[in-house]
Every structure is written in C-alpha cells, then in structure tokens.
Amino acid sequence: MHSSGDLQEDGSTESSLVQSIHIIQVLDCLADPEKIRVVAELSDNIKDVMPYLATLLPRAGYNDEAAILSLVREGRLITVYPHMITLAKALDEDDAREVLEWLRTLINEAHARRGELKPCVGRRHVPRILDIYRLLPGGNCRRCGEATCMAFAARLVVGEARLQACQRLTEEGFARNRTLLAEWLGEEPV
C-alpha cells in the first residue's frame, strides 16, 4: 500500500487528480496536412480544477460556464474539456503524448495549488492577432527580428515571442499599450 503522495508506476502520485490521459483517436490535421490531431480522454473529471488551470495559463481563452479552456502551445492548438482534450497540429503521436503529459502535470499542479491560486471565473478571451497588432508601435522597424509588426503580433499570440523583443514599446508614449499587452499576454511589463 502506498502512502498519500507515493509515486505510481506512471510517475504520478496518489494525491494527483489526473492519473492518465489516453489518446482515443488520431486523425489528419485539418489545419496542416503534414500534422495530426488527437482526441484524448482524461482519467478523471477536472471541471472543478479548470478555473485554477486557467489561472496557471494566462494566455488561454477560458469560459467558466461552459468549462472550456483553449490555448496555443508551440503552434499546437489545444482545447480542454472536463473529461477530454483535443490537440491539433501535433507533429506525430509521440509529440502529442509529450504535450498531453505536460498538460497532465499542469492540471495536477493546479489541483495541488487550488488553495493558494485565485480561480479564473467568467470568460476570458484570447487576444487576437489584430488586437495585439493595434497596440504595437508600428513602423515595421524589424528590431524584434520579424519583418513586420503583424508577424511579431502573430508570434506573440502563439507564445513564440516575448514583448521584450519590441524595443519601441519602451519608448515614451507607449506605457498604456505596454501595460495592456503585458496583461493580455500574461507577461511582465517591459
């Protein structure tokens, strides 16, 4: 018999909420024919933990009433429901398993920390590329490493770039924009 918190064969602990996530369907990806999409089933219902998971994922869209969380991680499109996860644009099944294991670990962290985290309630929209673009200084200066401000905005939305890369945001006159962008993207202000 294990005491509470002992490691199980799968590396989880008895106090973990989600013991496993199993891929139940592998399909062609509609967004990219070179990739796959998967449907996975959670071993446990996470509805009560979802507001805390949303807190740990500040860039995720979240609807508390519908219990749906959606995010983009390294180009992969992820939607979390209380019993199921859909994942699109995975490279292959091994890649999908890695993303699902990352998510399982994060769900269990949210469960373990729910006493200290402030739950996200209501509805939180994911900022769109145009929303981000409108707050950038503009001018396509390329100091961020991108050819255009629109390209930089797209990389910010999917988490592939950081606000600090835009040097012009530190210029006088962009304080409000910096604050809004940092809040939307879950980053420290530049």
60, 79 contact by CB (below 8 A): no
The mean pLDDT value for 136-146 works out to 94
Q: Which of 90-94, 158-162, 165-169, 183-187 has the lowest mean pLDDT?
A: 183-187
Domains of the chain by start residue, with CATH: 21-124 (3.30.310), 129-185 (1.10.15.40)
The mean pLDDT value for 164-172 works out to 92
> Please, which pLDDT band fits residue 129 given cuts at 50, 70 and 90?
confident
- pLDDT tens per residue across span 11-22: 444 578 999 999
Question: pTM here?
Answer: 0.70
**What pLDDT does residue 64 have?**
93
Distance CA(5)–CA(32), nearest Å, equals 41
Residues 6 or more apart whose Cβ sits within 8 Å of residue 157: 72, 126, 127, 128, 129, 132
